[in-house]
Amino acid sequence: MDWILDHLWVLLAAAAAIAQMLAKKKGQAGADDEAPPREETFEDPMLAERTRKIREDIQRKIEERRDGGALMRPEPPPEMASESVRELPPVVQEVFATPRQQRETADRVEIERQAEILERQTVLAEQLSQAQALKAGMQRRTEFETSISESDATNDRSRGALVVELRDPAALRRAFVLREILGPPVALKR
């Protein structure tokens, strides 16, 4: 008795396994009867009717595929025709085009696509030429500004060097002597 109480979980697991095997055997026996699947029951009659119509539609599509896909869809029975018109939107009928019509349509679509591509390329080419002109103008402006700033910098540097040189007293004396020598004669000065 102590062993049973100590190993109760082993006995419960064995009982569950046996019950599962029995249920599986019972399920296999029920599957062999080939009974149609039990339809679900709904409390809402509108939902039940809608579910039934969807199942019929699916079954019809499966049968069409098995038959190789019928080109014409069968008309619904007269009693359902009035209901389906009320509840469902109209069905778009399939239109089959001949290979020539398909080819002409494909050619027309391809021509339109090519025209759109050419138009887009023209727009892009115009944008590219505008960008190149803008870039060339910017380069000319940069060169002009660089040349002006270089000449200003040269003038500033020479003026700056002269001012620094004249701060030295010996250089200032040398500048006066050079002015007297290189400048106009004293007689011509006013």
Is 91 domain-assigned? Answer: no
What's the predicted TM-score (pTM) here?
0.28
70 and 94 Cβ atoms separated by less than 8 Å: no
> What is the residue-averaged pLDDT of the chain?
80
Is 11 domain-assigned? Answer: no
Number of compact structural domains in the chain: 1
Q: What is the pLDDT of residues 121-138, one digit of tens each?
A: 999 999 999 999 999 999
140, amino acid identity: R
Residue 75: is its pLDDT beyond 80? no
Q: What is the pLDDT of residues 48-67, one digit of tens each?
A: 888 889 999 999 999 988 88
Residue 152: is its pLDDT beyond 80? no
Is 18 domain-assigned? Answer: no
What per-residue confidence (pLDDT) applies to 106? 86
Is 17 domain-assigned? Answer: no
Q: What length does the chain have?
A: 190
Residue 89: is its pLDDT beyond 90? no
Residue among 39, 69, 70 at smallest CA distance from 55: 39
173, amino acid identity: R
Is 159 domain-assigned? Answer: yes
CA distances from 85 to 52, 82, 89, 125, 146 (A): 16, 5, 7, 56, 82
Residue 96: is its pLDDT beyond 80? no
Domain containing residue 164: 99-188
Is 32 domain-assigned? Answer: no
Is 145 domain-assigned? Answer: yes
- How far apart, in whole angstroms, are the C-alpha atoms of residue 180 and residue 121? 74
- How far apart, in whole angstroms, are the C-alpha atoms of residue 19 and residue 118? 76
